[in-house]
Amino acid sequence: MNHPNVAIITGGGRGIGAATAKLFARHGYAVCINYKSNTKAASHVVQEITAQGGQCIAVQADVSLEADVLRLFATVDQQLGTVSALVNNAGILQTQMRLEEMNADRINTILTNNVTSYFLCCREAVKRMSTRHGGQGGVIINVSSGAARSGSPHEYIDYAASKGAIDTLTKGLSLEVSAEGIRVNCVRPGVIDTDMHADGGEPGRIERLKNVIPLQRGGLPEEVAEAIYWLASEKSSFSTGNYLDLTGGL
């Protein structure tokens, strides 16, 4: 069955991706949430959406791997229909450290998970959405980070640089496909209350930073989801190649 509005949300099992999946489902999208290993969290999101009458599937796929990305998109073709909105959201960071402590394995892991993955998913989405390939158009929203601007010194410059690459991907791809029915934008969240900070070795990072955030608090995944949904909706119909910052003023 081919649903008219199909969204793929990478990393949709937890955090910003899970909030985005629930919001898109509430707006009538058939949603595919992708995740890497936490099946329990992804199943929980599927259950929550379907209990409210929405349509949602979860697909395990490591989006840094080309074969997994091909399988993810093929599964969505078969089970939901042609993707009309891609939210590139899956991402990782690693333990906070200075650059002189980083080895090549770490840097490559960050780049394949945060950059190669977005490129591969964009490619598969464009093949399906572009009028050049007979598609009906669509929207792509990349989740970058305020780190692309701050550079994250003393924490994770590698992560920040990976998000800088996403800003450039957003700009270049938006111009490449703007006459083919596809809008490409990005959101740049600041400090958002998710599990990610624990992966950096500092679960209490928001508590440490909240006084330097002009709004005096961390953001919620739901606040980022609203911006992502706006960029997917026709309400942002004149926006492409743009960056929407959600940083509480930081």
Question: Tokens for 179?
Answer: 């006459």
Instruction: Kindly give the interhelix angle for 39-51 and 15-26, rounded to the nearest 10 degrees.
Output: 20
Does 31 interact with ligand NAP (rule: CB under 6 A)? Answer: no
**Reduced to 3 DSSP states, what percent helix, strand and coil does the chain have, rounded to the nearest 5?**
50, 15, 35
Query: Rounded to whole angstroms, how far apart are CA atoms 64 and 62?
Result: 5
Comparing every residue's Cβ against ligand NAP, the nearest one is 15
Comparison of 135 and 189: residue with beta carbon closer to ligand NAP? 189
Question: Tokens for 192?
Answer: 């958002």
Comparison of 26 and 44: residue with beta carbon closer to ligand NAP? 44
Is there a contact between 63 and 37 (Cβ–Cβ < 8 Å)? no
Q: Write out the binding residues for ligand NAP, residues 39-58 only, by CB under 6 A.
A: 41
Query: Can 159 be counted among the known catalytic residues?
Result: yes
The residue annotated as part of the active site, out of 29, 35, 118, 159, is 159
Does 38 interact with ligand NAP (rule: CB under 6 A)? Answer: yes
Does 17 interact with ligand NAP (rule: CB under 6 A)? Answer: yes
Does 36 interact with ligand NAP (rule: CB under 6 A)? Answer: yes
Our separate counts of H helices and E strands in the chain read 10, 7
Does 195 interact with ligand NAP (rule: CB under 6 A)? Answer: yes
Q: Write out the binding residues for ligand NAP, residues 54-113 only, by CB under 6 A.
A: 62-64, 89-92, 113
Query: Rounded to whole angstroms, how far apart are CA atoms 146 and 164?
Result: 9
For 177, half-sphere exposure in the C-beta direction (CA atoms, 13 angstrom radius) is 29
Active site amino acids: 159
Residues that bind ligand NAP (CB under 6 A): 10-11, 13-17, 34-38, 41, 62-64, 89-92, 113, 117, 143, 145, 189, 191-192, 194-196
